[in-house]
Each structure stands twice: as structure tokens, then as C-alpha cells.
Structure 1
Amino acid sequence: MAYLNRFFFCTLVIIAIVSAANWFIDPFGMYWSPVVAGINSTKPASGDRVRIIKAYRGPEFTPQVLIVGNSRAEMALHPEHASFDNTRVYNQAMPGAGIRLQTDYARNTIDSTPGLKRVIMSVDYLDFLVRRARFSEPQTEEAAPNYLFRLPLYKPGWTGRMGRLREKSALLFSLDGLIASVRTIFQQGAAVNSIGPSGFNDPASYVNILRHEGINALFIQKLQELDRNLRNRDLTTIDSDTGQRSPQYTILADFLADLSEQNIQVQLFISPYHISYLHLLDDLGMTEDFIAWKHELLKVVEENRANVNLWDFSGPSNFIQEPVPVGSNRAMQWYWEPAHYRSNLGDKILESLATGKATSEFGTHLTKDVIEVVTDAHHSLLSDTRDDWQALQQSLDIHIARLSESQ
């Protein structure tokens, strides 16, 4: 009996030590216990649990402004930007998050935060794409996503509470958590991504890639990935025959309507894709759908005009047309690679949204009066830069148009 008592006592002591260590190091950025430079200020493992952390951290942060979107917004819109003027801002954007996940998480935070009065949301063309055949298929109700138990708004009962308790406990009491804590200590000062207390993801890993592989590797990898995901898949956001929209428009419209009823200001914006990204879409025959997507977004916004506006930062500018320093190991001024822009360009987006005026001739407030001008400008941009795009392809030694066939 004495042996069992000692065994259980030792077990409890070990569990207590592990949980205390995991709480203090906080490798996933869940608790933001005291931060000690050189020990736990950088949290390399935070990206491994981002959808867990941001489900809980968002409401606990009690923001007055919420940033919503995918990885573009997560890595470029800093919650501590001067335009927020000491307002509590949380960046709940997440890599790979589609429209439903983005809006579900946002609703949960908004529902838990009565003082939240503004939402900044990045809308991404790829998030609205579906296979064209889907429009002719019988419409069936989609299965509930497997993350809903994390959101009390959707799962208020005991099942949800137990799921949340189990998930949170795993961050404190698990061996995985302890291993992540040890790695966190040894990776302080390394060039690694780390999510901060207000949700911003510092993408320092790009620096490491640039140092060892150069800018070519980043551009080739991203352009090849886009080509694989889009080529020969018959994707669209709108059925050209019937005018039917992809379901994501309805999800967004419902979200905007809900926020309008709560008198929450919403600022939607289209990200500044690098010109090479836009040319790849054009090579894949997707430019007209990309433009139609902007038109449909504007229609959705017009339906909720009282509290919603839409900005487009993908038009012609010195920023999206930044030359790629092929063969270099240095970072570009405004971009990491074709799909992800740097936080200094994100700063200019936030300045335009805050003032309502385009900063450095960058960005357009989309309305019915200017949408055709924006459309014409996009076609001119592609025409004027086509030679540059072909030169970039040749200098990177890739041929995007024939990529899929060669693999």
C-alpha cells in the first residue's frame, strides 16, 4: 500500500512539473504566461496548433477589432499598427482557412465580445472556387465541420465543454507539449515562424529559406503549387451559363448580414497578389472569372451597404509590379513570394482602410462607379507586363504552361 501511495504521489508530482513547465514555456502560444527573452518569447510550435489556439485565444483576448482571413492576412496585418491607436486588435486569420472556417471562428469571437465594433476581412479568390460540375449536381447539406466543438456558439452543451477541456488539457499535460517546450527553449533566436499574443504570425522562416535557397526557390515553389492546384480542374466561382454563385458567396453574405444587424463595421479587401500570380491565373484562363468574382463581391457588399465596404489592392501599382531579384538571396521589399506580401505592404493596406484614402496610389475603394475602370485597368496591366512575365519564367527556368504535363 505504501508503495502505491509513493507511486501515485510521484506520478502527481511529475504531472505537476510537466504542466507547470508547459504553462510557463507555453510553446503553442495559448496562455501567454510571463515572457522571458531568450527562453519563451519566440514560439516556433505555435503554427502547429493555430486552429486550436485561435479558437480559444480570440474570445479570451476580447478584441475591439478583429482581423479575419487566411495566411496572407495572418502574416501581413499587424494588430499593433499605429492606425489602431491602442485599440485592442486580434488577428484571427489562419493559413488554409476557407470562408466557412473564417466566419465560424469570427462569429464565435464576436459573440463572446460585446465591445467588438470592427472587422477587417481579407477575401481571397481561391477560397470561392468550386468545380464547375458542382453547379449541376443536386444540392445536399454539407456535413458539420469537425472543429465546431471548439466554438461554444455552436456547441454550448456538455459534449462541447468536454471536447474543449480535453483539447486544452492536452496542451498542458501531454508529452508532446513537453517536447515542444524543450524545442522552444532551444530555438530561441532561430529564424522560425512564431505567432504573437495578438495572433500575428511573424514569418521569419522565409529569411532562412532565402539565406540557403534564394528567391528563386520561393517563387518556383509557389508558382508550381498554384499551377498544380488550379490546372485542368475546371474551377470557377460563377457558373457562366446560369449565373449561379459558388456557395461561399452565400456564407459571406450571411456573415455580413449578421454583422450589419449588430452594427459592426466590416472592411473587406482583396489582397495585393504579385503580378506573377495574376499572370499565372491568366495563363490558366481564369482572368475573366477573377474579374467576375470582384463584380459579385461588390454585389454582396451592396446588399449590406450600411456597414460594409470593399477595397481592391490587386490593381496596377509599383508594389505588385515589384521586380523579382532572380538569383538573389535577399528578400524583396514588398513580397516574400507571389502569394504572400510582407507586413510593410500590409501597413499600407491598414493605412488606406483607416483613412478611407488610397495610400501611395495603392488600392481602390470598389463601388459601382469604378468597377468597370478597375476591370479595364486589370486587362491593361496584364497586357503591359506580359513580356516581363515571360522573361521571369525564362529566368526562373520554369514553364508554368507545361508544368502539369511534365510531371
Structure 2
Amino acid sequence: MSDHKDYRRYGLRLLTVTAVFLALIAGFNGFFDPYQVIGTPTIKRLNQVKREKDIQVRLFKTVAVNQIEAKSLFLGSSRTEFGLDTNHPGLRDLQPGYNLAITGGNMYEVRRYFDHAIATQPEVKEIILSLDFFMFNQAKKNTPDFREERLGTRNLFVGDLFEVLLSKPAFISSLRTLKNSFSRPNNPGFFYEDGRRNPDSTIEQVYFNQGVIPRFRMVLRDFLVRPDLYGTYQLSVDYLNDLNAVITTSQQRGIRLHLFISPSHALQWEAIRVAGLWSEFEAWKRALVNLSPIWDFSGYNSMTTEAIADPMQYYIESSHYRKELGDLVLNRILDYRPETVPSDFGILLTPTNLETHLEQIRRDRELWAKENPKWVEFVEALKP
């Protein structure tokens, strides 16, 4: 009988110690709130620099957009995250806005974040959605940090609550938040308050302050090698259907939806050609236009052919453009100060003008290639 009591006493002590330990861990992580989802007040030099949000983009953006009554939204990939500023003057009557673009997302993920937005943001009147070729690759699967359960509600999903408060990665992120907040208290981290990415932090932390040419080389090689980008490509009918669902729902809800193809640098389009995907690229555009008119900022125009130098005014590397170019994109789409936008930058594609436009891009490419053989060879040398 005595042994039974001893075992019971030991079990209670173990449970108590475990509960206290878990409570301490949860309290520690809750205070530092590394992904900025708990809402803990920030204290300078302790927990205000949230660089760790970069590893939980889908989680923190789900929560962040829930905390405002957005009237305008940006959707798309990291290209949109870097380039589009919600404070653009053409959207002054549609504030607050939020950049709900998600890093490396496919079209299904973008659709689900659109669904989340319209379920939780009844005041949304305008959505600008950027479309990228890789988003429609059948091989582009959902990213590991994507969770269906957190979408469509303003409540924090129980699994996310555990991840934020009790997981080992969250504990490590909390320690890093303390370190970053103490050592670099004025650093904005990877994201601005409206969800837009900070290019300077990315150049420092992702590209290790390398120059423009190494950054171009790194990104282009990645696109050419990875099967979910250009390494292999099959246009997904499912992802086209996801886009069509976004278009249809927007029409039903009275939401103004603007679609556009990102203005990546000319070397990004060269990578598509080198990968042997140019015909697929054109077929993708045909499929998009069959669904809706769409602004096309791709190709070899006066902006996307910016000379590669260090620094560049409009580009971080071949894939991502800066706010300075994003402002011109928004000027064109929103018809705000159109005189500031070069005439060849941004064409509204319809079934009527599509084939003429595709032919013009081919001619523009031939002219650019003749004038820039060094950069043509640069991209070709990166092919696996």
C-alpha cells in the first residue's frame, strides 16, 4: 500500500513539474511572440524586432489581416510582397490596405488566402492580384507552413497556438527575437507593418550583402534547377480553375479585381527561354486571357531591361522588383498619373490583342538579345 502511495505521489510531482515547465515555456514564447500573432506589447531591446516572422509568413499574415478592417488587398507571390505598397496615393480612399501576398505560393494557396480575406474582411472593395508563371506549375505544391485550418476565421487555430507557445522552433525563435531586439533595436525586420517585404533586410540576411550580379546568378540558377519552378513545368488546370474561382467570386461580391503579370527583369524571361518553356509561357498567357483581361508587365520593355549595375533602381535581382517599379505598376492599373508610366510598360491583354502582343515580345526579345549577348550567355551558362 505504501508503494502505491509513493508511485502516486511521484506521478503528481512529475505532472506538476511538467506543467510548470510547459507554463514557463509558453510564458516565455508568449512574451517574445516571435511571429507576432499573440499580440504581446513590444518593449524596445527585448521583443520588438520580429525577424522570425519570415519563417511563418502564412501564419503571421493570416493573423495580421484579421486585426484590421481592410478595404484593399494585394495578393500574389513574394514579387508582390516586395513591390506593391498599400500606401500608394491611387488607393488613398481604400485604406487601410494590406499586402497579403505569400512567399512562394502556388495559385491554390493564393486562392485560399483570397477566400480567407473575403470571409473575414467584409469591407474589402478592391483586390490587386499578381500572377506568376511558376504559380501555375503542377509541380508547385503547397508549402510546408500552409494550414487550411487557420483560414476563414478570426480565431487562432489550436494547432497554431501550440506551435507558437510550446514548440522547440518557437523557443529558438524567441531567443533570436531577444538577441535581435537587443543588438539591433531599430531594425525593421523582414516586413513592414502593411505586410510588404523590406528589401534591405532581405539583401542582408538572404543574399549576405552580395552584389547585384551574384544575386541574379543565385536566383536564376534556382529557377532553372528546381522542378517546382522551371526545372520541369506542366500547366495546371486545377490552378487555372482556382484563378477562375477568384474571378467569379469577386464579380459576385462586387469586388474590383485587377489581374497583372509581374514585371520581373528581362533575364527572368531569358531563363524561361533557356529552360525550353517559352511556348508554355505563351500558352499560360492565352489561358489567363481566356478567363479575364489581364495587365501584362512582362517582356523586354523599357523598364524590365534596366541595365544590370550595382545598385539598380528598380530590381533586387531578376525575379523581384522594388517599390519604385511597383508604384509605376499601380499607376498604370489604377490610372493614376498615367503620364509617369512609359508607354510600353503595361498592356491590358484581351483575346483581341493577345497574339499581336506575344509577337511583339518575340521581336523585342530578338532586338534585346542582339544588343546584350553577354547577358544572354550569362543565363545560358546557368542551365543545368
When the two structures are superposed, what TM-score results if normalisation uses the length of structure 1?
0.77
> 1:29 touches 1:196 (CA, 8 Å); kept in 2?
no
Change (3 A) 1:13 1:36: same
Say which SS state the counterpart of residue 114 (structure 2) adopts. Answer: helix
In the aligned structure 2, how far is the partner of 1:83 from the partner of 1:22?
Answer: 40
Deviation string 1:173-213 (CA, Å, 9 cap, x unpaired) is 44533332221232243978523333222231214566643
Deviation string 1:286-323 (CA, Å, 9 cap, x unpaired) is 2233223222211101xxxxxxx521111443321111
In the aligned structure 2, how far is the partner of 1:36 from the partner of 1:92?
Answer: 26
Deviation string 1:258-308 (CA, Å, 9 cap, x unpaired) is 12111111111100021111122123332233223222211101xxxxxxx
Report how far residue 373 of structure 1 moved.
3.8
> 1:63 touches 1:89 (CA, 8 Å); kept in 2?
yes
Say which SS state the counterpart of residue 384 (structure 1) adopts. Answer: helix
Task: Trace 1:7-406 onto structure 2 (pairs within 5 A).
Answer: 18-85=25-92, 87-130=95-138, 147-152=147-152, 164-188=157-181, 189=184, 194-203=190-199, 204-207=201-204, 212-229=209-226, 235-237=233-235, 246-301=237-292, 309-325=293-309, 330-355=310-335, 357=338, 359-361=340-342, 362-392=345-375, 394=377, 398=378, 400=380, 403-404=383-384
In the aligned structure 2, how far is the partner of 1:81 from the partner of 1:5?
Answer: 59
Change (3 A) 1:336 1:15: same
Report how far residue 229 of structure 1 moved.
3.0
Unaligned runs of at least 5 residues, structure 1 = 132-141, 238-244, 302-308
In the aligned structure 1, how far is the partner of 2:62 from the partner of 2:117?
Answer: 8
Unaligned runs of at least 5 residues, structure 2 = 1-7
Identify the range of structure 1 (100-109 vs 52-61) with the bigger mean alpha-carbon deviation.
52-61
In the aligned structure 2, how far is the partner of 1:78 from the partner of 1:20?
Answer: 35
> 1:315 touches 1:377 (CA, 8 Å); kept in 2?
no
In the aligned structure 2, how far is the partner of 1:200 from the partner of 1:391?
Answer: 34
Say which SS state the counterpart of residue 46 (structure 1) adopts. Answer: helix
* Identical amino acids, percent of aligned pairs: 23
Deviation string 1:103-130 (CA, Å, 9 cap, x unpaired) is 0121022112211121111111122234
Runs of 4+ in 1 over 6 A off after TM superposition: 1-14
In the aligned structure 2, how far is the partner of 1:6 from the partner of 1:49?
Answer: 36
> 2:220 touches 2:379 (CA, 8 Å); kept in 1?
no
> 1:207 touches 1:331 (CA, 8 Å); kept in 2?
no
> 1:315 touches 1:374 (CA, 8 Å); kept in 2?
no
Deviation string 1:140-182 (CA, Å, 9 cap, x unpaired) is xx9xx972222247xx9xxxx8x91131243134453333222
In the aligned structure 2, how far is the partner of 1:234 from the partner of 1:71?
Answer: 21
In the aligned structure 1, how far is the partner of 2:17 from the partner of 2:206?
Answer: 45
Letter in 2 for 1:335: Y
Report how far residue 52 of structure 1 moved.
2.1
Change (3 A) 1:32 1:280: same
When the two structures are superposed, what TM-score results if normalisation uses the length of structure 2?
0.81
Deviation string 1:303-355 (CA, Å, 9 cap, x unpaired) is xxxxxx52111144332111112xxxx43211111111112211222222222
In the aligned structure 2, how far is the partner of 1:323 from the partner of 1:232?
Answer: 24
> 1:192 touches 1:205 (CA, 8 Å); kept in 2?
no
Say which SS state the counterpart of residue 336 (structure 1) adopts. Answer: coil
CA RMSD of aligned residues (A): 3.4
In the aligned structure 2, how far is the partner of 1:211 from the partner of 1:234?
Answer: 29
Letter in 1 for 2:62: A
Letter in 2 for 1:221: M
Report how far residue 79 of structure 1 moved.
2.4
In the aligned structure 1, how far is the partner of 2:16 from the partner of 2:126?
Answer: 50
Change (3 A) 1:25 1:82: farther
> 1:269 touches 1:313 (CA, 8 Å); kept in 2?
yes
